[in-house]
A and B are shown apart, each in its own frame.
Chain A
Amino acid sequence: MATFPEYIAQNEERDGVRFSWNVWPSSRLEATRMVVPVAALFTPLKERPDLPPIQYEPVLCSRATCRAVLNPLCQVDYRAKLWACNFCYQRNQFPPSYAGISEVNQPAELLPQFSTIEYVVQRGPQMPLVFLYVVDTCMEDEDLQALKESLQMSLSLLPPTALVGLITFGRMVQVHELGCEGISKSYVFRGTKDLNAKQLQEMLGLTKPSATQGRGPQTAQQPLSNRFLQPVQKIDMNLTDLLGELQRDPWPVTQGKRPLRSLGVAMSIAVGLLECTFPNTGARIMTFIGGPATQGPGMVVGDELKTPIRSWHDIEKDNAKFMKKATKHYESLANRASTNGHIIDIYACALDQTGLLEMKCCANYTGGYMVMADSFNTSLFKQTFQRVFTKDVQGSFKMAFAATLEVKTSREIKVSGAIGPCVSLNAKGPCVSENEIGTGGTCQWKICGLDPSTTLALYFEVVNQHNAPIPQGGRGAIQFVTQYQHSSGQRRIRVTTTARNWADAQTQIQSIAASFDQEAAAILMARLAVYRAETEEGPDVLRWLDRQLIRLFMFHLRRSPFLQVFNNSPDESSYYRHQFNRQDLTQALIMIQPVLYAYSFNGPPEPVLLDSSSILPDRILLMDTFFQILIYHGETVAQWRKAGYQDMPEYENFKHLLQAPVDDAQELLHTRFPMPRYIDTEHGGSQARFLLSKVNPSQTHNNMYAWGQESGAPILTDDVSLQVFMDHLKKLAVSSAA
């Protein structure tokens, strides 16, 4: 048997699962004493190029309350053609198609290496992908131009059969009819009045399809397009022209006012349009906004420039008068969209806040993207947007739609909840714990938008009673069943079945301790902390966190934008938290504790401590915080560079030194989504603040002389350093009063 780290890595590699504990305490009492719950980070669509989808459907346990999928952990009686469900112990007959089964002729799902397996559902029609652009026109001409170009470009990236639609908004909301000859038509709506789907349906004249829809079987025959959503191949030119003709919102904006932006209604109409035309079909509503909503439902700020958009300060003082209402509006939209399996993406590009705080649930509930940038005319936006349409080796989008995740557990363990870009489907079942953590009370969640890195945190509760020992060698199993619409239009089911050993905490405490996955636990606890931070007051969360088990990550977590709102706008906080909640473990770790590499003439690049002591004059530092990639030239290096040594042939090595971090940064930039902010700075540069705010302030203006060290750069902060934090922590850890 491999070491735990290896085991963990292997599991992650194969199943996309990382548990906080890899050996589970066998009783509830012991489990609660462990502080960190049994929990897992699960990446449903973990990229598995080596895993060919199986062209048939899974075999399910026949017990109505179970319906678990046949998996390698099941006991199979090849002679009787029976299999026993490892969750409910139900004995099931194999279906007729498995008649030829035998020890030597096993179907893939019984092979141990196929603990994760993907089925393709053959039934049902292939649904087209739907992309609905919702475009703000209240922005500077340059921005708008850049955005138009990006959108036009995106048309070429879409599969020809994909349906596209266009809604533009400013003071009014326009739903454009596509494919009109001679005259361009659009339906216009007032930006101040919300409409429900039925009203919208009538107003857009979409009532006919619904009339014929009638019953179940008929539903399938829905027209695959309508006047507003048409196949790319058909209206490519038309839409390109239409986008080209988009003008900045013509309504006059007087001095001292913000343009009237009907974002709330625009999104509502987008949601309504898809709701009444393509319910339960994968669709992306891609919203491009250049500023905050300033009128109608969902407005987050008035149109008077003299009243700034709410800050954390305002929110604390309960001074953000639009926030609650707007949040409610967007929440209801998010719920409607998620119910129908539609994704809402938000691409917010503005120097000021745009109301992401209020809108966050749209992306969070539906698995949509949230991208924040300063302008549409930046590579950050352009490349990020382009990367949305990235394709895998098979040429399909790396995105999946309208997924549901179901969790099945052994009897001894139940699921408490999930934290991630999902909504509850409110499916009660035997494996649902009464104890809720995150989005709980269900064993099924809906994830409208998925990509290979989307990761959910799932929390479990051991329910086995202390007096009901588990037989030696017993294993607890958990099965994740993810049904989703593949970007090819197919419905697919991915099943991951995983099992861990039980251990008696009293006798086998070492093995349990050894099975602890520090990284996973840190992220799981961080998610929990962030979740609480979102729903509770800030300081309380810190206090809670402090009471929990704490390690290094916790120090950084405390200082991270996920929990600290100081120096961050509400929008930024929302943005960071959004990303944190959906990224996989590696990325999440980076977010909490940025990675710092040092480049110098002293040797190959090396990771260094995220500490002020690492900031040395003759080094080039590369920091990756996930959101930013920063290259920092030490004082000396900066001077050299300024002097132009890199251009001299004799100092080619210096040139290489300068180039090395840039190359590494490019590599990171290419793979990351969303595209990080790329910063190239040097000692004393204003942008260096990004670095200085992250490192451990081991040296500050308070203690810089006390150590008398020559190295490092003092950080001007009153925050405690890790050293102080640890000292304090040790004290607390040993005091019983903690």
Chain B
Amino acid sequence: MNVNQHTPMASPYGQPQPGYSQPGYAPLDGGYPAPYAPYNGPASAYQPGAPPQGYSPFTSFPSKAVTANPVSDLSSPLDLGPARGPPASGPPPVSAPQPYNQYSHSQGDMQNGPPTMTQAPPRPAASQPYNPGAMNLSGPHPSYPQHYGPPSTIQQVTNQMTGMQIASGPPTPAGPGYAPPHSSQPPVSTAYSAAPPPSYTQAIPPVSSAPTQPPPPSGPATSQQYYGGPPPSSQQPFNSSLPPTSQQQFTSSAPPPPSSQQTFPPTSYSGPVPPPSQAPAPPVSQSQQSFPPTQPPFSSAPPPVSQPAFLSGPPPPVQGSFPPRAPPPSSQPGSFPPPGPPPTSTSSQYPGPMPPQQQPPLSQPSPYHSGPPPPRAQMPPTSMPQSNHLPPGPQGPPGPPGPLQQPPPQPGMQGGYPPQQNGAFGQVRGPQPGYAGPYPGQPNYGAPAPAPAPAPPAQKRLDPDAIPSPIQVIEDDKAKSTEPFTTGVRGQAPPLVTTNFQVKDQGNASPRFIRCTAYNMPCTADMAKQSQVPLAAVIKPLATLPPDETPPYVVDHGEGGPIRCNRCKAYMCPYMQFIEGGRRFQCGFCSCVTEVPPHYFQHLDHTGKRVDCYDRPELSLGSYEFLATVDYCKNNKLPQPPAFVFLIDVSYNAVKSGMVSIVCQELKTLLDYLPRENPEMDSVVRVGFVTYNKVLHFYNVKSSLAQPQMLVVSDVSDMFVPLLDGFLVNVNESRLVIESLLDQIPEMFADTRETETVFGPVIQAGLEALKAADCAGKLFVFHTSLPIAEAPGKLKNREDKKLIGTDKEKSLFQPQVGFYNNLAKECVAQGCCVDLFLFPNQYVDVATLGVVPVSTGGSVYKYTYFQAQSDQERFLNDLRRDIQKPVGFDAVMRVRTSTGIRATDFYGSFFMSNTTDVELAGLDCDKAITVEFKHDDKLSEETGALMQCAMLYTSCSGQRRLRIHNMAVNCCSQLADLYRNCETDTIINFFSKYAFRGILNNPTKAVRDTLVNQCAQILACYRKNCASPSSAGQLILPECMKLLPVYLNCVLKSDVLLPGADVSLDDRAYLRQLISCMDVAETHVFFYPRLLPLMKLESGSLPVAVRDSEERLSKGGVYLLETGLHLFLWVGASAQQELLLNIFGTQSFSQIDPSMTSLPVLDNPFSQRLREIIDSFRAQRSRYMKLMVVKQEDRAELIFRHFLVEDKSASGGASYVDFLCHMHKEIRQLLS
């Protein structure tokens, strides 16, 4: 179902998918084997303990059973319920199968009604044999509870798995799959074409279901309890028990024979879950896993057939891998054996998925065609496509799934499986690297891969490869975006931020300036509320454009100033409709009709367009600037050129760390690069200097002086500027004096013993200086310590780790005194922007010190434990960039919108004194503002929703200007349209800012819950209203939001929302403020770092990134990880010598110096290219990233691992898989 829907939704994707699937398959076959092996390992573990107990675990089983049922789709949610119930009944192991069936039935009834029924019968039959498998399944269950909590991954996985399975397996396939099974192939294909994407979503759903299992949340609680008891020890039991269930399920499914088989594919999803436990599935990549489960059933019933198919197609590899596994589960084998065939089935699954998409896989097709395959195939296909989505589900379970999955394969392998499982897990992981290899297919997965992925997940827990892969999505988008993006089409979503593309302004602002969360806005508030999709735009008014794009034209409308609508004051733009022969124009925002001033009159052509339309930027472009008249200036006076004031801490710490001398030294050259508009001219920006510790020292550097004069102001309680003339000077005129001063400052304070500093007065001083000079400007404050000296704005150390996690935690993010808020207000009024460079050795209360920078549009830079030698480069590059970058001052930004919506909330570094005007003392090219819109009326589909962002500012040459960005998006009355045209990256940008502001006033946990809830609601709404009916157990994600869970999880586990023990309060406050003004590209890479394998480098293109998970790292490889703030070079312990030689100039791993901050310059193409890449990364980001070399197994690896965001984090953050399961559970709860 979902699949179908999805496919339709993502029609575009659908197409690509096929292609993907094909390639994917091939690789899969090859690669999977290895994966399986690893999985088996875990699986085996599960089995051992679990089997017996497993039954009692039944409760869990039920869930699994459910999952099995889920296979039928709907069952999953229900399953959980029953499952729990069952647990009590636990005993039933033997009966379990039956119960399962029953459960499944009941559940199935609940869920799928018919499908289960059909399935049920079969299952029972097979169930018994499968029991062992069931055991495994149970394993997973226990894991669930754990997952939520801190459970071991395995447990979690299992939990997830179970959930996943439940959802995924049964759902999609069950419904449609079953019905058409035989003919299924056709259907599948149809389905695919129609819904390849959906399939993904579907697939996902299961995954999600698995996550949901993460029980933590609602259901979780109970489930957890249940699980809780058993988890640890029970896990194994569970596993064992689970397996049974799974087996049962399988069996049951299997029994159903053909139809069941068909279901299997679906079951595969569901199955996957069980399979994981079984292990078999896992080994093979996901696809295999999925197969296994299916296979099992098949095995019982049609297995043979499937096997054959496999054999024909992928069998060899699969078998190869499987065999080993199979052997272990000797006990299981019996039952499994049939499954054994499954492997083939797995292949069949692949095929299945494949088929649907592309039957292409040679081997696969055959399987499908062969007996049962078809149906399965269909099922799988759906799953496959879904896989993208599904993956999550499967992944969730991964841990446990592993075992489960393995079992399935085992079944296939029979004897082989058990052992595999046991060893498999271990092996599997080992093999993983291998996976990578095989994975190459993965990329393919990206689109189509999903399908394959899904399958595997089912078998293991959730196979990470089966859940939506950010990398895949990114790569797909890259592949898709070959043409320049033209902005003329209303409501067209731009390429992702990770894609390089050219923009042609044809009437809407470039996505570099504005990105929206939704390009189809709901027409009504009800819709918006129902969907819960945030309506927001991330605006970066002064964004830097690439050299091949034209910067906004400057338009001068003469003395009268820009032409504006009389009523809403919107500025002339392409949305203004000229009427009455061009004598008037009607405002596109408020519909008010305004006279065209005579000097602006122009005739209209036959289409009603002004004939000069294309001569005037304001009539044809999305972004342009107006020259502002004196009416737009403060005090009706044209502004003075801005000034830069450098305020340098010269207390003991600052001097000792070398900061003072570095700054002074650097400023001497840096002053030649002050921002200017015309590169030919000297900058008109004036500069001034202040040093301070407990008192402030101003410097008179007037050009006529022979030597600088220092003016000490020690009355810090009532700050003032002691001099007027000679403080702010032109660099060229006063060069000698300035240089003399900068030479002397470090000497003068070389032996200072003053350790106390002030801070409030420092900003006041800069502010007063600008006031006295009557200009706007920027303060560069270089500060080291908590300002404890007696002065306004004095702070005390309030870092208290005990508050973390309590309701009082929020207070730590709030400024500890109100002084800085007031100061910020004054700064904004004067147009005084503050950039703060911190060099703390201990707590400095960034939350408070950052108030002024954040409110004035400034930046905070933090160099903890600054050491001249190692941090100088980063600091200086930041400083250089910060000083040189284009910046506007004394800005006011206003966003006007069509009647019907309204900008209601703003996020970023600025100040607001009313509800509509964003006041920015300064705004540079890297700062973005996120604006949230709310309905206050209806929008019409016809006119769409218009927004105009107008920013009045003073340029660095002192010119007053208005920068206008226009943006039009579509409006829709169908939720499906809304979900078709969203941008997840932007949504995440919004969510992160929303959450990071939220923690100021709410407990962190509440904020996290809110996020999860809203996300669940978004997805549930989609599921409910847009996805085709299917089992509730299925996780179905909208194509354009399929990464929402993974990204959201990254937000949730960020240091701000979920701090590890070693994360200081300052760091959190710092990140919090930092993110508040990030644009989409920055938040994207910040939350989901870019991880590049460096084994092969080609000039001209970057290697394809891999997902942020440790599993993706090969011991023999070298990887580069970039977050926008950090840059890591991870070196595998057994990296090839040649690689090391090329990069480090040494052959030995042990000789690599982990303290290096830059790579040696070696004369080989590899080294050159690598350094090129690093440089290009640094150039892309607004802050310089210091390179950290991390050797595998080194202590520093802990830091590095923190950025492998798909894995569980040390601070307790869920892995992607776990979270997906959790999310699924949430969704199911919302739906039920």
Write the residues of chain A forming the contact surface with B, with a CB cutoff of 8 angstroms: 172, 174, 177, 180, 182-190, 193, 195, 199, 202-205, 245, 250-252
Contact = CB atoms under 8 A, between A and B. Distances in A.
A183 B715 contact: no
Contacts of B718: 190, 193
Given A182-B744, A252-B724, A174 B711 contact: yes
Contact of B709 (A184, A193, A202, A205): A184
Contacts of A180: 710
B707 A193 contact: no
Interface string B855-890: 000000000000000000000000000000000000
A193 B715 contact: yes
Nearest to A189: B715
A676 to B, nearest CB: 40
B722 interface: yes
Contacts of A186: 709-712
A124 B630 CA distance: 72
B328 to A, nearest CB: 80
Contacts of A195: 715
Given A183-B744, A252-B724, A203 B714 contact: yes
A203 B715 contact: yes
Nearest to A199: B715
A635 B709 CA distance: 60
A250 B725 contact: yes
Contacts of B705: 245
A177 B712 CA distance: 10
A250 B704 CA distance: 14
Given A250-B723, A250-B726, A187 B707 contact: no
Contact of A203 (B695, B709, B748): B695
B264 interface: no
Interface in B737-789: 740-741, 744, 748
B720 A190 contact: yes
A190 B713 CA distance: 9
Dominant secondary structure of chain A at its interface with chain B: mixed
B708 interface: yes
A182 B707 CA distance: 7
A251 B697 CA distance: 19
Contacts of B720: 172, 190
A425 B431 CA distance: 99
B698 A188 contact: yes
Nearest to A252: B724
A202 B714 contact: yes
A183 B712 contact: no
B738 to A, nearest CB: 12
Contacts of A187: 711-714
Contacts of A204: 714
Given A190-B718, A204-B714, A183 B707 contact: yes
20 contacts: A174-B722, A180-B710, A182-B744, A185-B697, A185-B711, A186-B709, A186-B711, A187-B712, A187-B714, A188-B712, A188-B722, A189-B714, A189-B715, A190-B720, A193-B718, A203-B695, A205-B714, A245-B705, A250-B723, A250-B726
Contact of B741 (A174, A183, A199, A245): A183
A251 B714 contact: no
Contacts of A172: 720, 722-723
Contacts of B723: 172, 188, 250
A188 B748 CA distance: 18
A182 B740 CA distance: 9
B709 A251 contact: no
Contacts of B714: 187, 189, 202-205
Nearest to B713: A188
Interface residues of B, number: 24
A641 B715 CA distance: 63
Interface in B39-88: none
Contacts of A193: 715, 718
A190 B711 CA distance: 12
Contacts of B698: 188
- Name which of A187, A188, A202 has the most chain B CB atoms within 10 A of its CB: A188
A548 B1039 CA distance: 114
A183 B744 CA distance: 8
A251 B720 CA distance: 13
Nearest first, the 4 A-B pairs at minimum CB distance are A188-B722, A203-B714, A250-B725, A185-B710
Given A183-B748, A186-B711, A186-B712, 20 more contacts: A180-B710, A182-B707, A183-B707, A183-B709, A183-B740, A183-B741, A183-B744, A184-B707, A185-B712, A186-B709, A187-B711, A187-B714, A188-B698, A189-B713, A189-B715, A190-B718, A203-B714, A203-B715, A245-B705, A250-B724
A183 B705 CA distance: 10
Nearest to B772: A251
Interface string B677-721: 000000000000000000101100000010111111111001010
A183 B710 contact: yes
A199 B725 CA distance: 28
Contacts of A199: 715
A203 B789 CA distance: 12
Contacts of B722: 172, 174, 188
Interface string B648-663: 0000000000000000
A79 B722 CA distance: 74
Nearest to A184: B709
A478 to B, nearest CB: 50
Contacts of B744: 182-183
A432 B715 CA distance: 46
A187 B695 CA distance: 10
A184 B710 contact: yes
A172 B719 CA distance: 12
Contacts of A252: 724
A174 to B, nearest CB: 7
Contacts of A250: 723-726
B267 to A, nearest CB: 81
A315 B726 CA distance: 42
A180 B724 CA distance: 22
A187 B712 CA distance: 4
Interface in B430-453: none
A189 B708 CA distance: 19
Given A183-B708, A183-B744, A183-B748, A251 B713 contact: no
B1019 to A, nearest CB: 62
B715 A190 contact: yes
B685 to A, nearest CB: 22
Nearest to B699: A183
A442 to B, nearest CB: 38
A195 B744 CA distance: 31
Contacts of A185: 697, 709-712
A177 B741 CA distance: 17
Contacts of B707: 182-184
B616 to A, nearest CB: 44
A205 B707 CA distance: 24
Contacts of B711: 174, 185-188
A199 B717 CA distance: 11
Nearest to A203: B714
Nearest to A180: B710
Contacts of A188: 698, 711-713, 722-723
A192 to B, nearest CB: 9
Nearest to A251: B724
A355 B106 CA distance: 103
B412 to A, nearest CB: 84
A331 to B, nearest CB: 24
A245 B705 CA distance: 9
A250 B710 CA distance: 16
Contacts of B726: 250
A180 B720 CA distance: 24
A180 B748 CA distance: 10
B918 to A, nearest CB: 34
Nearest to B698: A188
A188 B741 CA distance: 19
A383 B695 CA distance: 41
B1093 to A, nearest CB: 56
